[in-house]
Amino acid sequence: MRSMTDALRIDDLHVSVDGNEILRGVTLGVGEGEVHALMGPNGSGKSTLANTLLGNPAYEVTQGRVLFKGEDITRLSTNQRAARGLFLGFQHPEEIAGVSVLNFLRQAMAVRRGIDDFSVLEVRMKLIEWTKRLGMDQRFQERYLNEGFSGGEKKRNEVLQMAMMEPEVAVLDETDSGLDIDALRIVAEGIKEVRKDRPELAILMITHYQRILSHLTPDRVHILLDGRVVESGGPQLARTLDERGFDAFRERVA
């Protein structure tokens, strides 16, 4: 049975970038074991929210707070958030030449577990297990991080990282961006596989479109417009949005 505790709580969050307010009082909570979808058009503040949750210092929190399992993490660094178990899957994962997937994960897992070093053998064995479960070539671990990866490979690598890092909360920023129908299905199945292993994992999916939700049904859907959540509801809200578009909700923006 799922806990009623909010693994991630965003409370009246106001965020400015270069003096311009982008988020204007975002409030939502994601319970343990739940999947929530945050949907909004370009310019609604979705990427600002993702960067704020990451702890990007360019995004200034002027009001409100972010709670992780009850702890206020609003002022914590990115590394401190990661160590507690907050994971962010990027919309556009960066290429890191000369750093293999194996070595990147070894360093990231050391941060997550709060140790100075991490056994290469342990990481390699865990990678073998998860690449098999996710249907990935085991040679993938020797490639440089995201260098020469297709869009689908980059997103599957994000799912692999999520599996390896064992987070408590995962924020997936437009994981469906740039994926064709087959790649989208594969990525969604990968997320489901991770959830089998960690049913308590809380997921906040940030997306433009309803299409990934046909593969991964959310518990709650939130619509973000002009820096505010203007509507929240069950999975049917995504279908309503798909039929009527974002304009149907603009009158609710104060």
For residue 168, give the CATH number of its domain: 3.40.50.300
b/e string for 99-109 if b means 16 or more Cβ within 10 A? ebbbbbbbebb
Burial class from Cβ neighbours inside 10 Å (0-12, 13-18, 19+) for residue 4 reads: exposed
Residue 12 falls within a domain, yes or no?
yes
Residue 115's contacts (CB-CB under 8 Å, 6 or more residues apart) are: none
Residue 1 falls within a domain, yes or no?
no
Residue 72 falls within a domain, yes or no?
yes
Domain count, the chain: 1
Which two structure tokens, joined as six digits, stand for 29?
A: 């909570």
Residue 248 falls within a domain, yes or no?
yes
Measured from the Cβ of residue 180, the count of other Cβ atoms closer than 10 Å reads 10
Do residues 62 and 71 lie in contact, with contact meaning Cβ atoms separated by under 8 Å?
no
Residue 122 falls within a domain, yes or no?
yes
Q: What is the pTM of this model?
A: 0.90
pLDDT, tens digit, 9 for 90 and up, residues 82-126:
999 999 987 766 767 788 888 888 888 888 887 777 788 888 999
The domain of 42 spans: 6-252
Q: Torsion over CA of 213, 82, 48 and 11, rounded to 10 degrees?
A: 90
Give, for all 254 residues of the chain, the pLDDT tens digit. Answer: 344 579 999 999 999 999 999 999 999 999 999 999 999 998 999 999 999 999 999 999 999 999 999 999 999 999 999 999 999 987 766 767 788 888 888 888 888 887 777 788 888 999 999 999 998 888 778 887 877 777 778 888 889 999 999 999 999 988 877 778 888 888 899 999 999 999 999 999 998 778 888 889 999 999 999 999 999 999 999 989 988 988 888 876 65
Which two structure tokens, joined as six digits, stand for 69?
A: 């399992």
